[in-house]
Amino acid sequence: MKFNHAIKSFLKYCSLERALSPLTLNAYQKDLDQFKSITTAESYDVKDIDKELIRSYLYVINDRYKPKTLKRKLATLKSFFNFLEREDIISVTPFRKLHIKIDRSKHLPKTIKESSLSQILKYAYLEQRKFCPTSKIYRETTRDICVLELLFATGIRVSELCSISPTEIDLKNNKLKINGKGNKQRMIPLCEKKSLKILKEYTHLYADILHDSTSFFLNRDLRPLSDQSVRRIIKKYSSIAGVTENITPHMFRHTIATMLLENGVDIRNIQILLGHSSLSVTEIYTHVSLSSQREILLKKHPRKNI
C-alpha cells in the first residue's frame, strides 16, 4: 500500500472507530505530511519503510522542536504504524526494537504577571466605556472582555473557547460544558462574579444572533471566532494597557492553574478543571514561584518557634 493511501485509511479509522476530534485529525495529518515531505515517503510502499528512514526523519526535526512537540510527532508515527500492523498491511512496525530517547526535561510553563493581567482587564473595561452601548464597537469590545475573562476564569484551551456553542453555556445555572481533547466532555462551574456579569451582558447584546448560531463567540462578520482572532484580542489589549510581555491564550491557562495551586487548591481539582487525562500532566504546575516560596519560608518556617 502506498503511503498516501495508508494515511487516508489511518485517518478514517481515527475518525470512525476512535472518534477523534477534527483538531486531532488535523494534527495527525500535518505530522504525517511532514514525515512524507522530509523522507519522500510518498514514493514508498509502507512495508518498505524501515528504522533507518525513521531515524533520518528524527535527525532532521530534532533541533527544530521542543521535546514535547517531538514526543507528539513520534507518537503520531507510532500510532500510524501500529494501525498498519494491526490491519496486516505491514508485517511488523518499524518501531519494534527502536529505542529513541528524547530529552524529557520539563520547561516550566510561562505565566502572566499578576500586575500585567490586572492592567489588561482594567484597560479592556475602560475601552468599553468609551463607546455608546448601542454601537457595534461596544458590542465587539464586550465580546473581547468576555474572551479575556473566560480564559482566566476557567483555564480552557483557546480551541475549546472557540468551539463553545450557545447551548453549552448555561447562565441560569452558571455552568459551562466543554468538549475537550479526545472528545472528552467536562463541566466547569462559572463562579466568578465579574466574568458572569460580562457574559450575561454579551449574551443580551448578541441575543438575536446567538439564537440561530452554532457558535457562542462571533467575529465582526458574525462567523465563529478563530484561534487567531483570540490572539489578536489579547495582543490588542496588552498594547492598550502598555504590557510588553508576549502573552498567548495558553498562558491564561498556565496562570490560573499556578495561582490556584499557590492558593492551596488540590492538584486533582486543577486536573479536572483543565481537563487533563493524567495527573502527571498537571504536576508541572507543582512548581511554585520563588516569591511565593520566599513568603512561605518567611511566615511559616518552624525556626521561628525554636
- CATH of residue 69: 1.10.150
pLDDT value of position 210? 92
Q: Is 99 a catalytic residue?
A: no
* Domain boundary, last residue among 34, 68, 86: 86
Asked if 287 and 151 sit in the same domain, the reply is: yes
| Domain count along the chain | 2
Asked if 150 and 237 sit in the same domain, the reply is: yes
| Domain presence at residue 189 | yes
| Domain presence at residue 223 | yes
Q: Is 285 a catalytic residue?
A: yes
Q: Is 254 a catalytic residue?
A: no
Asked if 218 and 279 sit in the same domain, the reply is: yes
| Domain presence at residue 304 | no
pLDDT value of position 235? 97
pLDDT value of position 290? 52
156, 160, 225 from 282: Cα distances, Å: 14, 18, 28
Asked if 36 and 130 sit in the same domain, the reply is: no
* Domain boundary, last residue among 70, 86, 102: 86
Asked if 20 and 162 sit in the same domain, the reply is: no
pLDDT value of position 147? 97
Asked if 223 and 162 sit in the same domain, the reply is: yes
Asked if 77 and 120 sit in the same domain, the reply is: no
Asked if 129 and 275 sit in the same domain, the reply is: yes
| Domain presence at residue 98 | no
| Domain presence at residue 303 | no
pLDDT value of position 104? 57
| Domain presence at residue 96 | no
Catalytic residue among 73, 139, 254, 276: 276
Q: How many CA atoms lie within 13 A of 246 on its CB side?
A: 0
Task: Please list the residues that pair with 169 across neighbouring strands.
Answer: 176
pLDDT value of position 260? 87
Catalytic residue among 181, 186, 231, 235: 181
pLDDT value of position 103? 65
Query: Splitting the chain (306 residues) into consecutive groups of 10 residues, what average pLDDT does each group show?
Result: 92 90 88 91 86 89 84 92 94 86 68 94 96 95 97 93 94 91 85 93 94 93 94 97 94 90 84 82 64 65 66
Q: Is 139 a catalytic residue?
A: no
- Quote the domain boundaries for residue 162: 114-293
Asked if 25 and 124 sit in the same domain, the reply is: no
pLDDT value of position 127? 96
* Domain boundary, last residue among 86, 101, 134: 86
pLDDT value of position 174? 93
Instruction: Check if the beta carbon of residue 164 is closer than 8 Å to that of residue 217.
Output: yes
C-alpha cell at 251: 498562558
DSSP 126: H
Domain of residue 228, CATH code: 1.10.443.10
Catalytic residue among 71, 250, 294, 299: 250
Q: Is 231 a catalytic residue?
A: no
| Domain presence at residue 288 | yes
| Centroid of chain to Cα 191 | 22
pLDDT value of position 242? 96
Q: Is 123 a catalytic residue?
A: no
Catalytic residue among 138, 157, 206, 254: 157
| Domain presence at residue 302 | no
Asked if 166 and 242 sit in the same domain, the reply is: yes
Asked if 172 and 80 sit in the same domain, the reply is: no
Quote the crossing angle between the two packed helices 249-262 and 136-154, to the nearest 10°: 40
50, 53, 66 from 100: Cα distances, Å: 14, 13, 15
Asked if 47 and 149 sit in the same domain, the reply is: no
